[in-house]
């Protein structure tokens, strides 16, 4: 082949590689490429630019979302008032709240917003004149104001003039409008006025279950407190909209986007049971009163709350009315500053059962004993000697409520007598490691997970921070904080065989068409105690009720188990108390659990009088017939062989006999549980007695902690006496 041919490409052309001029151009291009460090700089700059743009876009998205949420309605009205086409909102119906049997506790009532369309009203005197005349006739508006509004916004199509009219008010205008517009003898017509439908939240039972239900905003878009808040996403729906516009052919067309209604929430409560509870609470507060009175009834086998109430209450239809329950008078409210009113409302709306902390007192004693039994630290045959208290330092003593001592007690007797001295020994026997291990097992110190907002955690001592005195006082229920629902859930697990269920107030969710969207079954969280421990505690707490005297919750024919509780509040020197009572029936196989807590009863000596036990008995006497519970004992005989007559709350103490824990002082002056007497009248930090060392009448005890048999001690050489449980300084 010829050389000239070899230097050509396949098509007979010369290759550029053999062309010196083209090779030179290629080398020039290669030499002109930017250096690598310049390329890296450009990449970093591009990445930074991209990041800044992304951040700006994210910021705009957040801002638009915020504006849409906070001012969407306002801007929507502006758009509607300026556009040539028109649109309207189709409101959703907020889902109903019912009791377990379908009784409606929260529903909706339609209300109407009067809308003016100045572009139509001002289009001619034959429309403007009669339309404004009719508005003045029906609603008494100022005609001059209407004239000015039409003149100032002649192109507007959407002005909300009056909000939330009743159906009767709306119909008055519509009837006259129809009458005038159908009169063929006159040229005048009514136009440019229409009514937009909304829904008003109503609560048919007013104050019933207010803490449990909560309340919603006027338009139903969000809920506050209770079920209304916790289940807001299920209750709130999505508004629809109508769009009216003129098409290319100048014909009016309409597009409708339907509203999506909220779902119905079926609660676990029984409205009749709830009514009984609230009536009994109201009766108690009319006769005696308290700072707070709370009651919760549960099904111990699945955690369902059947009734939950507290005093004071509020009107769900007017939640800002502080006087609804009578707790605040109109004069007191008038004297409040705005800040004081806000604080009062916050306290009124808060649910005492789930959102308030208190020291449970002796209702915690069965939990202490259960922990010891489960870990093999205790046996039912264990015996303890009570000499009236425990001396923890020279001249410093923690007293039992029976100052002369209970003598020898077995484990069941420690519960029956609610003996502080025995529980102190039991606490020391099981040790702080076991004690601190089981408090969380029983759900103390953490939220139970109940489906209500704002639940408190509780406050416990950590094992590494727990001193000997902390263990001693914690063992009988003082110096740690819990909520009522925590104690209720813990006790339910003690009596149902050891199964801890999450308490809950909602049974199921229904779709707007009535179909079931979700069912809330009882959630078993953990096992707390064995069946044998549960059986022992049921037996001991049944004996406690059977042997109560003089204030007893025993009802002939029925097995009732229970445990009293009396706790001194901080500061101890103020002598203010929370008294409580847990109970269940039938005791051998509990179907219903009840807890009553009374915070600062309105009496001179809050630790006496059997207020919690009296209220518990009244509740069971009203609840048993409604639940149609049959007797499980021979009604011809009483559990203890003799039934003391019921002592009405607030009456004088009986003439003799020892007082049950937290239930007053008979003539022998035994102190109520949680009210022992120190020798020097000094109080340990956070756990003491009044500064002057004086005791209320009927609760005095000598400085040595012992009372002379059958008579009251008097002030003697040891000085004034105190009813406080603690003496000295724990530090």
Half-sphere exposure of residue 443: CA atoms within 13 angstroms, side-chain side: 30
Report mean pLDDT in 10-residue bins for the chain, 731 residues. Answer: 46 52 57 61 77 82 69 57 60 94 95 92 89 93 92 88 92 92 81 90 96 90 95 92 66 78 97 97 94 97 97 94 90 92 92 96 97 96 93 81 91 94 96 97 97 96 94 95 98 98 98 95 95 97 86 89 92 90 96 97 85 95 95 65 40 36 40 42 38 35 35 30 40 34
Q: Are 90 and 242 in contact (CB under 8 A)?
A: yes
Half-sphere exposure of residue 634: CA atoms within 13 angstroms, side-chain side: 6
Q: Are 417 and 406 in contact (CB under 8 A)?
A: yes
Per-residue burial over 90-128, b = 16 or more CB atoms within 10 Å of its CB, e = otherwise: bbbbbbbbbbbeeeebbbbeebbbbbbbbbbbbeeeebb
The H-or-E segment that residue 367 falls in is: helix 365-374
Predicted pLDDT of residue 205: 96
Predicted pLDDT of residue 171: 94
Predicted pLDDT of residue 70: 62
Nearest CA to 429 out of 375, 483, 502, 392 is that of 375
Cα separation, 87 vs 78, whole angstroms? 12
| Helix, strand, or coil (residue 721) | coil
Predicted pLDDT of residue 437: 97
Entry pTM: 0.75
Cα separation, 454 vs 475, whole angstroms? 28
The domain at 358-551 falls in which architecture?
Answer: 3-Layer(aba) Sandwich (3.40)
Backbone phi, psi, residue 4, to 5°: -65, -35
Q: Cβ–Cβ contacts within 10 Å for residue 277, how many?
A: 28
Q: Are 598 and 288 in contact (CB under 8 A)?
A: no
Instruction: Choose which CATH entry (3.40.50.2300, 3.30.1490.190, 3.90.1170.40, 3.90.1310.10) describes domain 86-267.
Output: 3.90.1310.10
Cα separation, 430 vs 378, whole angstroms? 7
Predicted pLDDT of residue 240: 86
Q: CA-CA-CA-CA torsion for 144, 149, 155, 156, nearest 10 degrees? A: -140
Residue 22, both tokens: 């083209």
Predicted pLDDT of residue 667: 36
- 293 has which bridge partners? 311, 598
Cα separation, 484 vs 601, whole angstroms? 17
Half-sphere exposure of residue 346: CA atoms within 13 angstroms, side-chain side: 8
The H-or-E segment that residue 54 falls in is: helix 36-82
Provide DSSP, 193-224.
EEEEEEEEEE-TTTTTTHHHH-EE-TTSS-EE
Q: Are 574 and 723 in contact (CB under 8 A)?
A: no
Q: Are 697 and 673 in contact (CB under 8 A)?
A: no
Nearest CA to 542 out of 372, 415, 421, 426 is that of 415
- Residue 514 neighbours by CB under 8 Å, 6+ apart: 264
Cα separation, 453 vs 440, whole angstroms? 21
Domain ranges of the chain: 86-267, 314-344, 358-551
Q: How do beta strands 264-267 and 506-510 pair?
A: antiparallel
Cα separation, 720 vs 345, whole angstroms? 42
| Helix, strand, or coil (residue 511) | coil
Cα separation, 475 vs 367, whole angstroms? 9
């Amino acid at each position: 082949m010829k050389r000239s041919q070899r230097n050509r490409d396949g098509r007979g052309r010369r290759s550029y590689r053999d062309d010196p001029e083209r090779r030179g151009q290629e080398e020039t291009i290669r030499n002109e490429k930017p250096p690598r460090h310049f390329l890296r700089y450009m990449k970093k700059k591009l990445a930074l630019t991209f990041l800044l743009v992304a951040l700006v876009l994210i910021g705009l998205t957040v801002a638009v979302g915020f504006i849409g949420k906070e001012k969407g309605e306002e801007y929507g009205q502006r758009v509607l008032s300026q556009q040539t086409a028109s649109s309207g909102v189709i409101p959703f119906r907020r889902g109903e709240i019912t009791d377990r049997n379908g009784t409606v506790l929260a529903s909706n009532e339609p209300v109407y917003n009067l809308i003016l369309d100045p572009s139509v009203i001002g289009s001619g005197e034959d429309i403007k004149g009669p339309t404004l005349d009719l508005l003045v006739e029906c609603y008494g508006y100022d005609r001059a104001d209407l004239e000015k509004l039409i003149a100032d916004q002649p192109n507007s199509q959407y002005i909300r003039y009056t909000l939330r009219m009743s159906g009767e008010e709306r119909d008055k205008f519509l009837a006259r409008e129809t009458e005038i517009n159908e009169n063929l003898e006159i040229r005048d017509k009514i136009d440019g006025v229409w009514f937009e439908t909304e829904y008003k939240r109503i609560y048919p039972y007013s104050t019933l279950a207010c803490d449990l239900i909560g309340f919603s905003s006027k338009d139903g878009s969000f809920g506050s407190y209770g079920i209304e808040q916790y289940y807001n996403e299920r209750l709130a729906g999505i508004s629809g909209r109508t769009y009216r516009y003129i098409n290319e052919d100048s014909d009016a067309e309409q597009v409708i986007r339907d509203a999506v209604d909220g779902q119905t929430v079926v609660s676990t409560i029984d409205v009749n049971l709830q009514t009984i509870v609230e009536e009994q609470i109201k009766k108690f507060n009319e006769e005696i009163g308290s700072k707070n009175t709370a009651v919760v009834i549960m099904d111990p086998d699945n955690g369902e709350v059947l009734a939950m109430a507290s005093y004071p209450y509020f009107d769900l239809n007017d939640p800002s009315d502080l006087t609804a329950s009578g707790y605040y008078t109109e004069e007191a409210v008038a004297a409040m500053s705005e800040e004081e009113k806000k604080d009062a409302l916050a306290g009124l709306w808060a649910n005492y059962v789930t959102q308030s902390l208190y020291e449970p007192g002796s209702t915690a004693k069965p939990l202490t004993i259960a922990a010891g039994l489960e870990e093999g630290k205790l046996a039912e045959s264990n015996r303890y000697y009570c000499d009236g208290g425990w001396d923890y330092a020279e001249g410093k003593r923690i007293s039992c409520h029976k100052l002369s001592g209970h003598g020898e007690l077995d484990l069941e007797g420690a519960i029956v007598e609610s003996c502080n001295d025995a529980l102190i020994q039991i606490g020391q026997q099981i040790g702080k490691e076991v004690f601190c291990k089981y408090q969380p097992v029983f759900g103390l110190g953490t939220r139970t997970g109940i489906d209500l907002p704002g639940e408190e955690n509780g406050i416990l001592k950590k094992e590494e921070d727990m001193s000997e005195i902390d263990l001693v006082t914690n063992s009988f229920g003082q110096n740690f904080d819990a909520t009522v629902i925590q104690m209720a859930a813990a006790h339910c697990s003690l009596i149902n065989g050891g199964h801890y269920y999450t308490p809950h107030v909602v049974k199921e969710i229904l779709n707007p068409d009535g179909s079931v969207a979700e069912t809330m079954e009882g959630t078993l969280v953990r096992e707390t105690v064995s069946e044998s421990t549960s059986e022992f505690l049921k037996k001991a707490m049944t004996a406690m009720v059977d042997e109560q005297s003089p204030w007893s919750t025993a009802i002939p024919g029925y097995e009732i188990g229970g445990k009293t509780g009396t706790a001194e509040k901080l500061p101890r020197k103020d002598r203010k108390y929370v008294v409580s009572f847990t109970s269940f029936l039938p005791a051998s196989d509990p179907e219903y659990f009840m807890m009553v807590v009374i915070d600062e009863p309105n009496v001179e000596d809050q630790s006496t009088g059997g207020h919690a036990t009296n209220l518990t008995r009244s509740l069971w006497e009203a609840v048993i017939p409604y639940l149609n519970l049959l007797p499980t004992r021979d009604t011809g005989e009483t559990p203890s062989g003799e039934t003391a007559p019921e002592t009405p709350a607030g009456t004088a103490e009986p003439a003799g006999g020892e007082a049950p824990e937290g239930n007053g002082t008979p003539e022998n002056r035994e102190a109520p549980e949680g009210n022992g007497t120190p020798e020097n009248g000094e109080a340990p930090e956070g756990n003491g007695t009044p500064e002057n060392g004086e005791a209320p009448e009927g609760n005095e005890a000598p400085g040595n902690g012992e009372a002379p048999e059958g008579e009251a001690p008097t002030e003697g050489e040891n000085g004034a006496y105190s009813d406080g449980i603690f003496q000295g300084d724990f530090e």
